[in-house]
């Protein structure tokens, strides 16, 4: 079987491999933007080691005339900047892979039949003036292979570096040209021309990654407060809101620990701000008492959790969907919550935006569950449409007889905030009466529990239904949630079977009622998840009473690859 998109000429996968701190990310940044501005669809993701210098990291870039949004194992072109690059990727490099690098550096690893372009990046860069330009030399080599005109690339480079000193821009241009010219002059040079660059619309699309989509969604949701503690891979959202949020009046504070972070954010909501925290598994474990506090106070809170493999410190820079159970059950006591798991950039934006409104409306914790793969992956997508966005503020101006926990018909007590109105806002983590004062009236206790839990039914009425893709009369259903969606989608599309559909959940709790019917309709169901214990399959069993037939699981710290998973699925179907 061939891979989903091996047809050379319209979908090229390029892998850059180098040490941490060596600048492969600069190559990625420049190259993807050049390709996009030339009308191609681009996708990029990285896998990296938990270290600041050294080690070996790699970046996958896909260039295509059709939208590409998924990881593939296949490598058409490998740019090996460091010794060990080929070895690092040995399971993915084949005799079809074109290897670009300095022969001297890679000589020990190159096998007989492998195609190699020997391009002395460092030497060329030194000729331009400094070894640091070898990244730009590599970009020059790549554009020559992909038949991009150097002038187009240079224009783009000028844009990217527009704030840099002129001398630096000139040197980079020189390096790009040198890389280009050396490569085209190679004796065995060949180029790949992607048939027709996609329509001009790609140029107008935006290129963002998962954490930027979450961050932009937060601003669109009216977020004006974030308190968090750094932890990979969740920190990028804190960084984004600290940098870009400044212009939007977002107060971004690095707390002393995650316990402080969530308590501060809940305090901010109490006073009327719209607050969020961003964290990863270990940090979230520390926040769980705070989640329970939000449950009891009936406080809104938005929690972005970017998962990485655990337990404990686990694999800090790798990916996994291993914290679904944690998020589902976090916090002592019984109270409702909402869990979103975006699998596309659009979903990350709109669901994060929506999270703030729902948190405020239902006075519950709302989770955005992503993972390292998701936050670090880019592709071009339509600019997010703000017409669909609205900040719905659900707090009220209080009157003198205001009661924070008033028992109402629909379980929701209007939320006042201190200083707005004549009433007093009394929020209490003890079991409380309608006013908010400690109580041990056990009959009232029952009413308060019913009121808190009763909100779940209201929340469910607004649950986002799962997305069904493929034939309506399916026999097989491949079920996925969160970040695996685009990968599974590409794999199933590639298989092109008329009997198989994909069911994608971007809200994993509470489940939309319609989900059950869609799943039960299938003769065979397969749940694909990036964890070892099939947590979502278990959730389906417990909360929808459906048992799936097969679990496809992956827990080596890496995401699925659409080409490999296609083969695996094909065997199960």
Contacts of another protein in 290-319 (CB under 8 A): 290, 293, 297
Site membership for another protein, residue 220 (CB under 8 A): yes
Q: 441 or 556, CB closer to another protein?
A: 441
25-54 residues near another protein, rule: CB under 8 A: 33-34, 36-37
Query: Cβ 311 to another protein, closest distance in Å?
Result: 23
Closest CA to 346 of 319, 386, 306: 386
Task: Dihedral sign for Cα 538, 540, 545, 550, please.
Answer: negative
Site membership for another protein, residue 90 (CB under 8 A): no
For residue 280, give every residue at least 6 positions away whose Cβ sits within 8 Å of its Cβ, in sequence order, or none. Answer: 231, 232, 233, 234, 305, 306, 307, 308
Q: Which stretch binds another protein (CB under 8 A): 63-71, 427-435, 466-474, 493-501?
A: 427-435
Q: Which stretch binds another protein (CB under 8 A): 8-16, 143-151, 264-272, 313-321?
A: 264-272
CA pair distance 61, 195, nearest whole angstrom:
18
For residue 563, give every residue at least 6 positions away whose Cβ sits within 8 Å of its Cβ, in sequence order, or none. Answer: 3, 4, 5, 6, 72, 73, 74, 491, 494
Query: Cβ 428 to another protein, closest distance in Å?
Result: 5
Site membership for another protein, residue 267 (CB under 8 A): yes
Q: Is 268 helix (H, G, I), strand (E, B) or coil?
A: helix
Q: Which stretch binds another protein (CB under 8 A): 43-51, 189-197, 390-398, 454-462?
A: 390-398
143-172 residues near another protein, rule: CB under 8 A: 156, 159-160
Q: Is 498 helix (H, G, I), strand (E, B) or coil?
A: coil
Q: Which stretch binds another protein (CB under 8 A): 40-48, 76-84, 177-185, 428-436?
A: 428-436
Which residue in the set 383, 410, 545, 556 belongs to the binding site for another protein (CB under 8 A)? Answer: 383
Site membership for another protein, residue 268 (CB under 8 A): yes
Q: Angle, nearest 10°, between helix axes 150-160 and 166-184?
A: 150
Q: Which stretch binds another protein (CB under 8 A): 82-90, 118-126, 197-205, 501-509?
A: 197-205
Q: 204 or 541, CB closer to another protein?
A: 204
Q: Which stretch binds another protein (CB under 8 A): 16-24, 319-327, 414-422, 443-451?
A: 414-422
Contact criterion met (CB below 8 Å) for 71 and 84: no
Give me the residue label for tokens 């686990």: 314
Site membership for another protein, residue 340 (CB under 8 A): no
Q: 138 or 501, CB closer to another protein?
A: 138
Q: 119 or 255, CB closer to another protein?
A: 255
Query: Cβ 415 to another protein, closest distance in Å?
Result: 11
Contact criterion met (CB below 8 Å) for 384 and 216: yes
Which residue in the set 222, 281, 295, 309 belongs to the binding site for another protein (CB under 8 A)? Answer: 222
How many of the chain's residues bind another protein (CB under 8 A)? 76
Partner residues linked to 339 by β-bridges = 367, 509
CA pair distance 384, 471, nearest whole angstrom:
28
Which residue in the set 429, 498, 520, 541 belongs to the binding site for another protein (CB under 8 A)? Answer: 429
Which residue in the set 79, 219, 287, 552 belongs to the binding site for another protein (CB under 8 A)? Answer: 219
Convert residues 56-75 into a mask of x (bound to another protein by CB under 8 A) and - (unbound): --------------------
Q: 131 or 394, CB closer to another protein?
A: 394
Which residue in the set 87, 203, 460, 524 belongs to the binding site for another protein (CB under 8 A)? Answer: 203
Q: 27 or 261, CB closer to another protein?
A: 261
Partner residues linked to 64 by β-bridges = 11, 41
Contact criterion met (CB below 8 Å) for 508 and 538: no
Q: Is 525 helix (H, G, I), strand (E, B) or coil?
A: strand
Contact criterion met (CB below 8 Å) for 310 and 557: no
| φ/ψ bin of 16: left (φ > 0), alpha (ψ from -120 to 50), beta (otherwise) | beta
Q: 186 or 389, CB closer to another protein?
A: 389
Q: Which stretch binds another protein (CB under 8 A): 101-109, 184-192, 247-255, 464-472?
A: 247-255
Q: 127 or 267, CB closer to another protein?
A: 267
Site membership for another protein, residue 424 (CB under 8 A): yes
Contact criterion met (CB below 8 Å) for 28 and 364: no
Q: 106 or 255, CB closer to another protein?
A: 255
Burial of 114 per CB tally in 10 Å (0-12, 13-18, 19+): middle
Site membership for another protein, residue 283 (CB under 8 A): no
Burial of 205 per CB tally in 10 Å (0-12, 13-18, 19+): middle
492-511 residues near another protein, rule: CB under 8 A: none
Which residue in the set 20, 175, 238, 275 belongs to the binding site for another protein (CB under 8 A)? Answer: 275
Query: Cβ 530 to another protein, closest distance in Å?
Result: 27
Q: Which residues in 171-204 are b (16+ Cβ under 10 Å) and which e?
A: bbbbbbbbbbebbeeeeeeeeeebeebbeeebee
Which residue in the set 195, 257, 441, 513 belongs to the binding site for another protein (CB under 8 A)? Answer: 257
CA pair distance 534, 556, nearest whole angstrom:
14
Site membership for another protein, residue 98 (CB under 8 A): no
CA pair distance 519, 536, nearest whole angstrom:
13
Site membership for another protein, residue 274 (CB under 8 A): yes
Contact criterion met (CB below 8 Å) for 81 and 24: yes
CA pair distance 83, 523, nearest whole angstrom:
50
Contact criterion met (CB below 8 Å) for 109 and 56: no
Q: 133 or 225, CB closer to another protein?
A: 225
Q: 7 or 246, CB closer to another protein?
A: 246
Which residue in the set 3, 5, 224, 507 belongs to the binding site for another protein (CB under 8 A)? Answer: 224
């Amino acid at each position: 079987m061939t891979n989903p998109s091996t047809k050379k000429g319209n979908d090229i996968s390029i892998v850059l491999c180098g040490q941490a701190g060596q600048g492969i990310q600069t190559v990625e940044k420049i190259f993807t933007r050049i390709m996009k501005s030339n009308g191609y669809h681009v996708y990029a993701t990285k896998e990296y080691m938990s270290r600041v210098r050294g080690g070996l990291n790699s970046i996958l870039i896909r260039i295509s005339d059709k939208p590409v949004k998924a990881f593939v194992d296949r490598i058409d072109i490998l740019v090996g900047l460091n010794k060990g690059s080929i070895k690092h990727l040995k399971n993915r490099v084949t005799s079809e892979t074109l290897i670009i690098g300095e022969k001297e550096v890679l000589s020990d690893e190159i096998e007989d039949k492998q195609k190699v372009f020997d391009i002395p990046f460092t030497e060329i860069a030194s000729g331009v003036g400094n070894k640091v330009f070898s990244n730009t030399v590599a970009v020059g080599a790549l554009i020559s292979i992909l038949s991009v005109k150097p002038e187009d690339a240079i224009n783009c480079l000028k844009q990217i570096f527009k704030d840099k000193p002129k001398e630096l821009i000139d040197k980079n241009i020189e390096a790009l040209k040198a890389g280009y010219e050396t490569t085209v002059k190679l004796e065995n040079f060949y180029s790949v021309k992607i048939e027709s660059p996609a329509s001009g619309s790609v140029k107008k699309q935006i290129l963002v990654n998962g954490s930027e989509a979450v961050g932009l969604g937060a601003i669109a949701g009216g977020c004006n407060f974030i308190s968090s503690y750094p932890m990979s891979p969740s920190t990028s959202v804190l960084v984004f809101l600290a940098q870009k949020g400044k212009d939007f009046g977002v107060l971004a504070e690095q707390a002393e620990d995650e316990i402080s972070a969530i308590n501060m954010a809940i305090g901010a909501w109490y006073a009327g701000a719209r607050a969020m925290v961003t964290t990863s598994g270990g940090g979230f474990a520390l926040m769980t008492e705070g989640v329970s506090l939000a449950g009891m106070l009936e406080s809104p809170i938005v929690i972005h959790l970017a998962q990485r493999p655990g337990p404990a410190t686990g694999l800090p820079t790798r990916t996994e969907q291993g914290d679904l159970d944690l998020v589902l059950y976090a916090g002592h006591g019984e109270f409702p919550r909402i869990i979103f798991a975006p699998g596309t950039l659009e979903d990350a934006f709109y669901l994060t935006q929506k999270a703030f409104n729902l948190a405020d409306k239902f006075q519950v914790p709302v989770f955005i569950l992503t993972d390292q793969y998701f936050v670090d992956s880019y592709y071009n997508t339509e600019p997010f449409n703000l017409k669909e966005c609205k900040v719905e503020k659900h707090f009220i101006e209080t009157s003198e007889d205001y009661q924070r926990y008033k028992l109402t018909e629909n379980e929701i007590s209007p939320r006042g905030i201190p200083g707005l109105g004549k009433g007093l806002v009394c929020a209490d983590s003890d079991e409380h009466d309608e006013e908010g004062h400690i109580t041990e009236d056990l009959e009232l206790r029952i009413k308060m529990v019913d009121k808190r839990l009763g909100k779940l039914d209201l929340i469910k009425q607004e649950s986002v239904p799962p997305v069904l893709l493929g034939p309506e009369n399916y026999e097989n259903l491949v079920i996925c949630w969160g970040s695996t969606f685009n990968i599974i989608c590409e794999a199933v599309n590639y298989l092109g079977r008329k009997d198989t559909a994909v069911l994608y959940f971007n809200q994993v709790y509470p489940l939309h009622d319609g989900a059950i019917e869609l799943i039960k309709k299938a003769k065979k169901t397969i749940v694909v998840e990036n964890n070892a214990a099939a947590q979502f399959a278990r959730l389906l069993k417990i909360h929808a009473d459906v048992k799936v037939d097969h679990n496809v699981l992956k827990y080596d710290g890496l995401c699925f690859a659409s080409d490999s998973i296609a083969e695996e699925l094909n065997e199960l179907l």
